[in-house]
Structure 1
């Protein structure tokens, strides 16, 4: 009878430990949730195509990039920070009119595209005039998601990415 009780106690202890470990991490033990429903309901952001044309002026530049959201919820770009400038603003272009905006929507299952001739980032009061080949660190801040850091290459002023 003693052996049976010891075996039962060991089984209960092992089960308790297994449940505690499962509660601490994701389903795969990575610390990330393996719950597909939770992922589907949250933004999943990535940044591509980022570049900064070499500015003609020493105090102002524009930045371009695409934020893709493969998640099931929308997010908003709220600001961008960079060591190159303490003055980065979001500019939306509608038709031929450009205006400063506080946020830019990143739709669920969609993308926010900042491109030459359209919506873009405006950097003022540059710390220095960046040169072609240099990389500039941008940190994108969002309403829901954590910050995303991107090393943005400086391209020639005439650079136009392929569609």
Structure 2
């Protein structure tokens, strides 16, 4: 065997060995996926937001869905809006409604605030919003950054299709 052939064969063996070593190192217990493809933290989005036109001049309810496609849970901690300095989170369990400090947004799941269920309660409104108006809400979370949404005011009897 000539020196050139031996050198080429040695280089090929070294490249193959390095390739096999790198493949073995990347295998871990994640099924061969690298860390970048794993959803590690919460990934939140908001949809279906609406505010029924309030029947009373100083109080309203808000509804929306927060989806979390990430790999970690988060919590809705507060909501702010120019419409009210008094926005509270209300959980409904059975027929009982109670004020809560936070609402969980599970990993791979959703927090649904809907008529007849858990919701946002806005008190001391700056004005009575009219149908067609849009109200800015800023949702604040324990782990994720705030999310701003434009919330349309719908007729008092509005019920979205699920």
**1:5-154 to 2 correspondence within 5 Å?**
35-37=36-38, 40-154=39-153
Q: Secondary structure at the match of 1:35?
A: helix
Q: Secondary structure at the match of 2:132?
A: coil
Q: CA deviation at 1:41?
A: 1.2
RMSD: 0.9
TM-score by length of 2: 0.78
Q: CA deviation at 1:66?
A: 0.1
Greater Rg, structure 1 or structure 2? 2
- Mapped to 2, the partners of 1:156 and 1:102 lie a distance apart of 29
- Mapped to 1, the partners of 2:102 and 2:142 lie a distance apart of 9
- Mapped to 1, the partners of 2:109 and 2:130 lie a distance apart of 32
- Mapped to 2, the partners of 1:45 and 1:160 lie a distance apart of 24
Q: CA deviation at 1:36?
A: 2.3
- Mapped to 2, the partners of 1:42 and 1:149 lie a distance apart of 19
- Mapped to 2, the partners of 1:130 and 1:120 lie a distance apart of 18
Q: Which residue of 1 aligns with 2:5?
A: none
Could you list the runs of 4 or more consecutive aligned residues of structure 1 that deviate by over 6 angstroms after TM superposition?
none
**Structure 2: where are the runs of 5+ without partners?**
1-34
- Mapped to 2, the partners of 1:121 and 1:87 lie a distance apart of 10
**Structure 1: where are the runs of 5+ without partners?**
1-33
Q: Summarize deviations over 1:34-93 as a string: whole Å, max 9, x none.
A: 9223xx110000000000000011100000000000000000000000000000000000
